[in-house]
Amino acid sequence: MTENAVPLVTLNNGITIPQLGFGVFKVDPDKTGRVVRDALDVGYRHIDTAKIYQNEEGVGHALKESGIPREEIFLTTKLWNDDQTDAEAAFEKSLARLGTDYVDLYLIHWPTPERDTYLDAWRSMEKILASGRAKAIGVSNFTVDHLERLIAETEIVPAVNQVELHVDFQQAELRAFAAEKGIAIEAWGPLGQGKINESPELSAIAEAHGKSVPQTIIRWHLDVGNIVIPKSNNKDRMAQNFDVFDFELSASEIATIATLDRGEDGRNGSSPLEVN
């Protein structure tokens, strides 16, 4: 299996992003270089990090040491909450830590509604986009209300909204709104942050395809159109998560998985309304 098997999603500004990527949330900075090199060896060509993860430097070192041309890797990082009032300076520091002169995608990490600074941050990011130092800009953890306000009061519709999304928390309303506005949905915590749903329904679907439940869940993300960024420190698990391109779920299987959605009760991470 190679990276060539990964489908590309075309974002609303015309650039493409590999639909299956690799996240480094909670990866120890001292281990990040090895973990990212392993992911690249497996075939991942889409790496997702953030300033707050404190491992941008490790990601940058791994990309350089890999020998893979920079243009063959899709690189995402994120603007942290404390930096929303000076996004330009924060972005330049991220570029320096990553050792690159551009990123493919730059995201506002959280809307931080009590601070009410995300509109100003977005306007700075629009300028970063215009400069070519980010190939696309987007948001993370934004609700429909946040997106509606952003779209109404600024110039550019986000290319991506990266949110918690998994079989227990499927975010159907948000996904429908995003599809209507041309915003790609990217799933973090796509396997449930270690709380993998091992329901009889999922187990039966996995068994029917000769796959594990995690592989089946990743395939579900791909089949419903989500960009998905699983993470692992273990190279064998990375490879298993990547080995999902030799089967597809049927419409009836996707319908069965839709019944597993628990709405807000299924959320594992923080609510966007609570993070500031």
Residues in the chain, pLDDT under 50: 1-3
Question: Is 102 a known active-site residue?
Answer: no
Tokens found for residue 74: 């899709």
- What pLDDT, on a 0 to 100 scale, did the predictor assign at position 4? 52
The structural domains of the chain, ordered by start, are: 7-263 (3.20.20.100)
Q: What pLDDT shows up at residue 3? A: 45
The pLDDT of residue 1 is 40
Give the sign of the dihedral formed by CA 209, CA 211, CA 213, CA 219. Answer: negative
Question: Going along 178-263, which residue ranges are E strands?
Answer: 184-188, 227-228
Cα torsion 137, 143, 144, 146 to 10°: value is -70
Q: What is the pLDDT of residue 140?
A: 98
- The catalytic residue among 44, 53, 106, 118 is 53
Sign of the Cα torsion 63, 67, 68, 70 reads positive
The CA distance from 119 to 150, in Å, is: 6
Which is nearest to 121 in space by CA: 149, 80, 163, 75?
80
Q: How far apart are CA 11 and CA 196, in angstroms?
A: 29
Specify the pairing of strand 227-228 against strand 184-188. parallel
CB contact at 8 A, 35 and 233? yes
In this predicted structure, what is the pLDDT of residue 2?
44
Report the alpha-carbon distance of residue 116 to residue 67 in Å, rounded.
42
Torsion of CA 258, 264, 265, 270, to 10 degrees: 120
CA 1 from centroid of its chain's CA atoms: 22
- Asked whether the beta carbons of 199 and 205 are under 8 A apart, the reply is no
In one-letter notation, the amino acid at residue 222 is: L
The pLDDT value given to residue 257: 98
Structure tokens at 13: 């500004």
